[in-house]
Amino acid sequence: MTIKAFTDGASRGNPGESGIGVIFKDEQGKTISSLYGYIGLSTNNIAEYTALITCLKAALKSKCSRLIVHSDSELMVRQLKGEYKVKDEKLKKTFQQVHALLDKASFQFEIVHVVREHNKEADQLANLGIDSKKKIKI
């Protein structure tokens, strides 16, 4: 089963109050589930990576055979594809967390950059995460 995930991290200020949003869709585009949460004070890039980490943790508990993640973070997508180096020390830790989770995965993984307009639902959830102050546990 292929799952399409849409992830987003939002930060009001950089750093500032931050949240994440994740949506899982089936092959026909129907929403299977969604997650959102508050991650405290963070930068937008850490929020983007935290959204991806949350997505991967949830996907590891699913029965998907292929996970295609859509993100509007060009930096994160290019770093994960090896097109950009990860220079920031805090980002290196989250980058390594992503790879540790992918090492555990039995599914195929693909990450795709999308423009913001194609990631509105995840963005709304990330902002809901900030507004709700709801901590997320996966």
Q: Which domains does the chain have, with CATH numbers?
A: 2-132 (3.30.420.10)
* 15 upstream amide cis, omega within 30 of 0: yes
Q: How many beta carbons lie within 10 A of that of residue 50, not counting itself?
A: 22
Dist. CA 130–CA 19, nearest whole Å: 5
pTM value > 0.85: yes
**What is 61-76 written as a DSSP string?**
TS--SEEEEEES-HHH
**What is the chain written as a DSSP string?**
-EEEEEEEEEEEETTEEEEEEEEEE-TTS-EEEEEEEEEEEE-HHHHHHHHHHHHHHHHHTS--SEEEEEES-HHHHHHHTTSS---SHHHHHHHHHHHHHHHH--SEEEEEE--GGGGHHHHHHHHHHHHHT-B---
The confidence score (pLDDT) of residue 136 equals 82
The confidence score (pLDDT) of residue 137 equals 75
Dist. CA 28–CA 31, nearest whole Å: 9
Q: Which segments in the chain show pLDDT lower than 70? A: 138
Dist. CA 42–CA 91, nearest whole Å: 11
The confidence score (pLDDT) of residue 82 equals 96
